[in-house]
Amino acid sequence: MRHEEPRPILTVDVILFTVQDGELRAALQRREMPPFAGELALIGGYVHISEDANTLATAARVLKEKAGLEGLFLEQLMTFSGPDRDPRGWSASVAYYALVPATKLSLALPHDLVLVSVDRIEKLPFDHNTIVATAVQRLRNKGAYSSLPAYLLPPTFTLPQLRNIYAEVLGVELNDSAFRRKIDELRLIEPVPGQFSKVSARPAKLYRLRSSALREFDRKLRMDRI
Amino acid sequence: MRHEEPRPILTVDVILFTVQDGELRAALQRREMPPFAGELALIGGYVHISEDANTLATAARVLKEKAGLEGLFLEQLMTFSGPDRDPRGWSASVAYYALVPATKLSLALPHDLVLVSVDRIEKLPFDHNTIVATAVQRLRNKGAYSSLPAYLLPPTFTLPQLRNIYAEVLGVELNDSAFRRKIDELRLIEPVPGQFSKVSARPAKLYRLRSSALREFDRKLRMDRI
DNA sequence: CGAATAGTGTCTGTGAGACAGTATTCT
DNA sequence: AGAATACTGTCTCACAGACACTATTCG
């Protein structure tokens, strides 16, 4: 019997993504407490068994308490574990990733949050570099066959904006007419009647997601031959 | 500060899949210890922080100790958590799924393991019904665009066997010539020179996976319109 | 008017389903 | 020979990329 073994530490980490200035960026926060106090790391925290219904609730609470953000797309990534990832001892961290439109973020960006391009992230404490890399991979992969990138846009958006956000997430250029055809077929979005965006040369129709739920396709949007 | 809060319980559960008699089945085991002693449940156990390098190692150890199986395809599914899923208190279970060829299993099926069709699983303790349902969904989904179903076959197999295992995992019939074309294009497999299977009317060429790693495609094998 | 961006129409190559037809073994 | 299963060839339709073309606004 090994009932005497201490229990592992259980934490939650959140990778908060946004697209800003045409770049996919992740939010990092300067740690207040040890270990690694003062260093930039993922937003995270302990599971509070007295108040959290599950680790998803922990992630949502941590996002609210530490970044002041609510109502975001939030999904479990995977769990990272081991004896050495945290100096306090054998630990497991359930990682979540969240998507926030840059517009929502710019209203009130918390002072201690830094947005860093995912291609320019320095060495982070714990195994946070691995976690971020895994999250980026998941986002790029899932972005190619789901409505996921749309959660990086405000509730209403134009077709060029949608195409650009997909292109930025996937890191490729997208054929405009093929993209329109595909999005049309999939019936992902619907026009907002009578509304036009006027930020560019010619006003563009405004659309919104037809359903707030994440939807997946059966083919990838961009099918680069391997 | 909440340092006084007790830590959550951390366990690992494994959904062991096989295809037997043309059915996708999951392994269940009668529990020796409370809670729910004597009931059928998923194979699982505590993380042993003194010996497990991470929860993947826990899953592999549990599979070996409780089912006598090693060297299987084994991948993390997701983590399930909450205050009520385990009567012992707030707990998190990192779920893994494993694939085993029926041939390997029939050599020495542990006495206390039961294989149940995933369509006929009764009420299980904990939240194990949810875990199994999630695993089946993942297997069906990922099976459609990866070499995953091949891990349900022995190291060498024929093309009809491969087609059947995909069809059984996906729950659909597959067009034979389209399947051959696709598998050929993807270069997933290579012939084993001079080897033939003689179980059916006409001997069939034997193949093996070209790489032991899981490979994904950019299109689903079967594209049922939604 | 021309620049810039939004949106449409059409040609073409490729890939997948359907299915007929051929090959090889067994009884 | 005929049944059963393995394998191949071909026709056709649908879909995605390419790209030219039209539309609408602004300076």
For A219, the closest chain B residue by CA position comes to B219
How many angstroms separate the CA of A189 from the C1' of C12?
Answer: 29
For A85, the closest chain B residue by CA position comes to B54
Question: Is the CB atom of residue B202 positioned under 7 angstroms from any atom of strand C?
Answer: yes
Rounded to whole angstroms, the Cα distance separating B87 from A48 reads 18
pLDDT number for residue A226: 36
Q: What is the pLDDT of residues B50-107, one digit of tens each?
A: 999 999 999 999 999 999 999 999 999 999 999 999 999 999 999 999 999 999 987 7
pLDDT number for residue B144: 93
Q: How far is CA A18 from CA A63, A79, A124, B37, in A?
A: 14, 22, 19, 48
Q: Which of B73, B79, B58, B223 is nearest to B154 (CA)?
A: B73
3-state helix, strand, coil in chain A (%, to 5): 30, 30, 40
pLDDT number for residue B197: 80
The residues of A whose Cβ lies within 8 A of any Cβ of B are 2, 5-10, 46-50, 53-55, 76, 78-83, 89-90, 92, 94, 218-220, 223-224, 226
Q: Which residues contact A223 (CB under 8 A, 6 or more apart)?
A: B218, B219
pLDDT number for residue B34: 87
Q: Which residue is associated with the tokens 């290579």?
A: B190
Q: Which of B50, B76, B223 sits opposite A79 (nearest CB)?
A: B76
pLDDT number for residue A158: 96
Of B219 and B143, the structure prediction assigns the larger pLDDT to: B143
For B4, the closest chain A residue by CA position comes to A48
Poorest-pLDDT segment among A84-88, B2-6, B211-215: B2-6
A205-212: Cβ within 8 A, 24+ apart: A205/A158, A205/A159, A206/A156, A206/A157, A206/A158, A207/A156, A207/A157, A207/A158, A207/A159, A207/A162, A208/A155, A208/A156, A208/A157, A209/A147, A209/A150, A209/A155
Residue A9 near residue A22, CB atoms below 8 Å? no
Q: Which of B117, B123, B124 is nearest to B171 (CA)?
A: B117
Q: What is the pLDDT of residues B152-198, one digit of tens each?
A: 999 999 999 999 999 999 999 999 999 999 999 999 999 998 778 87
Residue B182 near residue B37, CB atoms below 8 Å? no
What pTM, to 2 d.p., does this model score? 0.94
Residue A166 near residue A186, CB atoms below 8 Å? no
Question: Is the CB atom of residue B22 positioned under 7 angstroms from any atom of strand C?
Answer: no
pLDDT number for residue B221: 84
Q: Which of B136, B137, B138, B164 is nearest to B150 (CA)?
A: B164
pLDDT number for residue B193: 87
Rounded to whole angstroms, the Cα distance separating A206 from A198 reads 10
What mean pLDDT comes out for the span B140-150? 95
CB contact under 8 A, B8 and A46: no
Count the residues in chain A.
226
Per-residue pLDDT of chain A (226 residues; tens, 9 = 90+): 445 789 999 999 999 999 999 999 999 999 998 899 999 999 999 999 999 999 999 999 999 999 999 999 999 999 999 999 999 999 999 999 999 999 998 777 777 899 999 999 999 999 999 999 999 999 999 999 999 999 999 999 999 999 999 999 999 999 999 999 999 999 999 999 887 888 888 999 999 999 999 999 888 887 554 3
Q: Which of B186, B170, B169 is nearest to B178 (CA)?
A: B186
pLDDT number for residue A201: 85
Question: Is the CB atom of residue A204 positioned under 7 angstroms from any atom of strand C?
Answer: yes
What does DSSP say about strands A9-20 and A91-99: parallel, antiparallel, or unpaired?
parallel
In 3-state terms, what secondary structure has residue B201? Answer: coil
CB contact under 8 A, A49 and B82: no
Residue B139 near residue B148, CB atoms below 8 Å? yes
Residue B202 near residue B211, CB atoms below 8 Å? no
CB contact under 8 A, B5 and A50: yes
Q: Which of B8, B46, B47 sits opposite A49 (nearest CB)?
A: B8
Residue A104 has a CB neighbour count (10 Å cut-off) of 17
pLDDT number for residue A224: 54
In 3-state terms, what secondary structure has residue A72? Answer: coil
| Nucleotides of strand C under 7 angstroms from a protein beta carbon | 3-10, 15-20, 23-26
